[in-house]
């Protein structure tokens, strides 16, 4: 197996009541708060939405690091962590498309990839195979978070408030679109890698895990 592939350890039992899982639940709770803020028309609400998104994204890094370093990986975490991640990023991409800041086809492609890979991981988990993020997947996540952050910032409002910096703020918006394009390319590419790797693992793995 590759370095990002492992077997579920059924002998290692950890309580689901731990810090990493609490951070995961907290991130999931922040998603509707973020969406609500994005629907508000007040300019200050957008800045609060940026803050909430970055706090939620930070918990994504923290819970995984703590779970691995303290050996607090649980079945609850395996299930809920990717759900919270997808809820946050897809929620953000959908809100950006609603706001007219990102084409809908980009959001749809990303959603198909993310939900498809989540389903693939769930299928492999039935055979006790855990496929963690590879380098491409990790880079994809970084680019997605960076792109969302750049596009969430109300650059146009800033440019209108400070005309002297209008060209700079417009440039930052374009930069956000460029990063979003790179994130889309990495999202599709890493998704294809997962599908190929998953197909190989499915063929070579024992189906015994499905009967457990």
156 pLDDT more than 80: no
Task: Read off the pLDDT of each residue in 81-108 and give the average, rounded to a whole number.
Answer: 93
pTM: 0.83
DSSP reduced 3-state for 131? strand
158-172 pLDDT per residue, tens:
766 667 667 888 888
What's residue 137's pLDDT? 80
Q: CA of 192: how far to CAs of 81, 106, 160, 195, in Å? A: 22, 17, 42, 5
Task: Read off the pLDDT of each residue in 11-33 and give the average, rounded to a whole number.
Answer: 82
Contacts of 65 (CB under 8 A, 6+ apart): none
Q: CA of 139: how far to CAs of 56, 108, 129, in Å? A: 18, 20, 22
DSSP state of 70: T
106-129 pLDDT per residue, tens:
999 999 999 998 888 878 877 767
Mean pLDDT, the chain, rounded, equals 83
CATH class entry, domain 5-211? mainly alpha
Domain spans in the chain, listed from the N-terminal domain onward:
5-211
Task: Read off the pLDDT of each residue in 21-39 and give the average, rounded to a whole number.
Answer: 94
């Amino acid at each position: 197996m590759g370095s990002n592939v492992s077997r579920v350890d059924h002998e290692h039992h950890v309580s689901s009541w731990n810090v990493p899982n609490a951070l995961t639940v907290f991130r999931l709770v922040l998603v509707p708060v973020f969406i609500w803020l994005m629907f508000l028309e007040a300019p200050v609400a957008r800045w609060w939405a940026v803050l909430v998104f970055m706090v939620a994204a930070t918990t994504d890094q923290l819970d995984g690091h703590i779970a691995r370093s303290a050996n607090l990986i649980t079945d609850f975490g395996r299930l809920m962590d990717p759900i919270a991640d997808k809820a946050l990023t897809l929620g953000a991409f959908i809100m950006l498309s609603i706001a007219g800041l990102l084409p809908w086809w980009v959001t749809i492609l990303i959603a198909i990839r993310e939900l498809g890979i989540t389903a693939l991981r769930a299928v492999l988990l039935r055979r006790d195979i855990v496929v963690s993020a590879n380098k491409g997947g990790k880079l994809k996540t970084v680019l997605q978070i960076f792109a969302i952050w750049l596009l969430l910032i109300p650059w146009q409002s800033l440019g209108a408030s400070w005309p002297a910096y209008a060209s700079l703020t417009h440039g930052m918006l374009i930069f956000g679109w460029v990063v979003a394009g790179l994130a889309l390319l990495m999202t599709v590419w890493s998704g294809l890698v997962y599908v190929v790797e998953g197909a190989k693992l499915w063929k070579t793995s024992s189906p015994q895990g499905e009967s457990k």
